[in-house]
Amino acid sequence: MNDPFDSLCVRKLDLPDHNPAQQLPLFLSSSFSFDTIEQGIDIFTGQQDGFVYSRYGNPTIEAVTRRLEALEGFGLDTDIRGYMTSSGMSAIHLILVSLLQQGDKVVTQANLYGGTTELLTKVMQGMGIEAVFTDLTDLERLESLIRSDKSIRAIYLETPTNPTLACLDLQVLGDLAYRNGVKTIVDNTFSTPYLQRPFGLGIDFVIHSTTKYMNGHGTGIAGLVLGRDVSFMKDRFWSVLKLTGATCNPFDAWLVANGLRTLPLRMERHCENALALAKALSDHEGVNLVNYPGLESHASHALASRQMSGYGGMLSFEVKGGQEKALRVMNGLKLASLAPTLGDVDTLVLHPATSSHLKIPAVIREAQGITNGLIRVSVGLEGVSDLFDDFTSALDSSD
């Protein structure tokens, strides 16, 4: 008796056919229907554009991805292809397994984010892909290493690095890699394309944790991989992405879209506040050193000034008194939050030795300047005088 009523409840809703929404619609659909089975066949075989299943592609995710491609490729006369992933770590993993195979090697630096180092040594190594750690500023040694070992197929790097903010010369490394037939992969999370665009400096692939500055509000987890080799990205990378299922979800992509609309404004304020706080910390008697490329005293200042349009919102500083003092300073902060992330609108602090770099042997950490007294700061958008007061008070009261 209720069959027509039941069918009416279940039947797919028809969207009103009128002028479009001002904001990006959120398509929370796992699959997409076809007008005819012939249309479905054409979409599955690539003869017609369309969506099939959100693991393969989704209108919300694709709209955001196209914008991210445009931002990283801004001002360049070259095509960029990108795909959003489930996290920054999945982005790193996916580009490595897409590009490399058993027996291959990737050259990288010792002062990486701790999670990346663990991925290389605990996961990739188990797959027969070896990470070779070396000083990427020693170009003569690096080129000799690559030329003597044909199994080296890629260079992976961060610049600025996490958490010491050391910078690497992208143009020089890109040229060196091209001469020797290896690919370059750069984590551009700290800088965002607003401050640094590696593709314009000869880099092959760029990855992001869009969880950080691209989102900017700490509301989601997502990643991004972009490449200049469009065929490779569409064929090899997309195949690995869809079959491993490490795709972004529509809601997290939508959150990134919201963040992107204020990216320039936020990055300008992050840079302004970080430079001011770095200068203030440098003058404090309880601080041994401050790592911020905007300071003339920083070893990477000249390089950062050349390849970046701003110095970013990240800094780290080493307090006198080691870990015990560092933890007291962090517990004394009232405005800044203790949180294991970065790039949010509010200031966040982290102790690398006991968190992000906990699993890295102390001898390796300390050789890279990641000491027990080092505190990493993601400088937020608060009033700069409030930031001064918070850090100064925490340092002064920690004795």
The dihedral over CA atoms of 186, 225, 198, 205, expressed in degrees to the nearest 10, equals 70
| For residue 4, cis peptide bond before it (omega within 30 degrees of 0) | no
Q: What is the mean pLDDT of residues 156-179?
A: 97
* Residues belonging to the active site: 55, 113, 187, 212
pLDDT, tens digit (0-9, with 9 covering 90-100), for 78-103: 999 999 999 999 999 999 999 999 99
Q: Which residues is 291 bridged to in the sheet?
A: 316
Average pLDDT, the chain: 96
With 0-12 CB in 10 A as exposed, 13-18 as middle and 19+ as buried, what is 88?
buried
The per-residue pLDDT for 138 is: 97
Q: Indicate the range of 78-87, 225-234, 367-376 predicted with least confidence.
A: 367-376
pTM: 0.96
93-145 per-position pLDDT tens digit: 999 999 999 999 999 999 999 899 999 999 999 999 999 999 999 999 999 99
Average pLDDT over residues 164-184: 98
Angle between helices 263-282 and 384-396 (to 10 degrees): 40
pLDDT greater than 90 at residue 5: no
Average pLDDT of the residues in 356-378 = 89
Give the rounded percent of residues in the chain with a pLDDT score beyond 90: 89
Bridge partner list, 106: 131, 154
Radius of gyration of the chain (CA): 23
- Tell me what the mean pLDDT of segment 228-246 comes to: 97
Predicted confidence at residue 359, as pLDDT, reads: 81
Within 13 A of 55's CA, how many CA atoms are on the CB side?
8
Residue 258 in this model has a pLDDT that exceeds 80: yes
State pLDDT tens for residues 312-356. Answer: 999 999 999 999 999 999 999 999 999 999 999 999 999 999 988
Strand segments (E) across the chain = 81-85, 105-108, 130-133, 152-158, 183-187, 205-209, 223-227, 287-291, 314-319, 337-338, 348-350, 374-378
| Res. 218 pLDDT band, cuts 50 70 90 | very high
Look at residue 1 in the predicted model and tell me its pLDDT.
Answer: 57
| 3-12, 109-118, 119-128, 374-383: the lowest-pLDDT one | 3-12
Tens digit of pLDDT for each residue in 33-84? Answer: 999 999 999 999 999 999 999 999 999 999 999 999 999 999 999 999 999 9
Domains and CATH numbers, the chain: 37-260 (3.40.640.10), 263-396 (3.90.1150.10)
In this prediction, residue 146 has a pLDDT band, given cuts at 50, 70 and 90, of very high
At 398 the pLDDT is 82
Say what the alpha-carbon torsion angle 258, 261, 262, 265 is, to the nearest 10 degrees: 170
